[in-house]
Chain A
Amino acid sequence: MKAKNEPGMTLIVKTITRLTVGLILLYGIYIVSHGHLSPGGGFAGGVIIALSFVHLMLAFGKDVALKKLSMSFAGLLESMGAVMFLSIALLGFMGGYFFLNFFSKKGLPFHLFSAGIIPFCNIAICLKVGAGLFAIFVSLVLLYKTDE
């Protein structure tokens, strides 16, 4: 029952997707930013963020999702995550060795701004995993489209 030959699924799926996709993205960001206090971290949060874009693509078709996050921008984000993680590791040489937790004041434990470099590493890994898995999914889907 497609209305005007538009891509994607039916109206019910689209309405529910409009409601839930923002919440999924927000939950992923929460998981990443509280990775040093509670279960979660960069890996799980990155996959959740990638899943929110995958959800958008499955419901609305590839054009809407690629307008939000294009393929080249995803590649840029992934490279940025890799460079950010490596540069955080290299900054440890300021204090002596690779991967040094170089903040002298690490902040109060059990609070959001604590634990030195660990939140920044979480953000870098989240960018890398999320953009990389989204790029994998988009490339597999585009291959499928060209088969038709």
Chain B
Amino acid sequence: MLEINILLLFMIIGAVIAVEVKDLLSSVVAVGAVGLGLSMAFLVLKAPDLAITQLVVELLCLIILIRATIRKDLPFSTSGRWLFNTLSTICFLAIFLTFAYFALKDLPQFGKPVMRVAKTYVEEGLSKTGAANIVAAIILDFRGYDTLGEATVLFTAVIGVLAIVRRIGRKKEGKNEG
């Protein structure tokens, strides 16, 4: 699979730029490029549902991140134990990648998935649910509990954002001071 490797190299280059560049706005734009590369990779991997969702989610994520970074400073301080921190992080990642190399050998070969559960879904999905899109049949019928949990997490995140940004607490502070 040459296409997916090229897309992955593009994503890695974008991620390195996003991590290392000093300007925050450039960093956010680079991570947007990584997300769009991921969307294209999903399209190559024959997952059109994921490609559409990743594309639109990436747009909204970019808007929210730009809202956070606009007109904010970037403290780029290299004081302290710079060498020790970098070396220990790189050592940890090298050990992690070495073990990952040995662990990945035992996975099934790329391009030959073990479809033990999914065989039932593919064969009986149309007759049991009547939906032509097998992914929709799985997330809303066979694995409905999964989607229910997702809805709960989304609800909790929305409530958390609304509780963090509300202005009632700040009014009390102003009354105490003035």
Contacts and interface: CB of A to CB of B under 8 A. Distances in A.
B97 interface: no
Mostly, the B contact residues are helix
Given A31-B52, A39-B52, A128-B151, A117 B140 contact: yes
Q: How large is the interface on A (under 10, 10 to 19, 20 to 34, 35 or more residues)?
A: 35 or more
Interface string A30-71: 010001111111011001101100100010000000000000
Contacts of A110: 132
Interface of A is mostly: helix
B93 interface: no
Contact of A35 (B126, B128, B136, B151): B136
Contacts of A31: 52
A129 interface: yes
A71 to B, nearest CB: 9
A44 B52 contact: yes
A135 interface: yes
Contact of B128 (A50, A101, A132, A137): A101
Interface string B140-160: 110011011001001101100
A66 to B, nearest CB: 15
B49 interface: yes
A140 B155 contact: no
B56 interface: yes
Nearest to B58: A47
Given A118-B131, A125-B151, A140-B165, A51 B56 contact: yes
A51 B133 contact: no
A116 B48 CA distance: 23
A19 B165 CA distance: 33
Contacts of A146: 167
A11 to B, nearest CB: 22
A98 B148 CA distance: 11
B130 interface: yes
B91 interface: no
A41 B60 contact: no
22 contacts: A36-B131, A39-B49, A40-B49, A41-B49, A44-B49, A47-B56, A51-B60, A54-B63, A98-B144, A101-B141, A115-B131, A116-B129, A118-B137, A121-B140, A122-B136, A125-B147, A132-B154, A132-B157, A133-B60, A136-B64, A141-B67, A146-B167
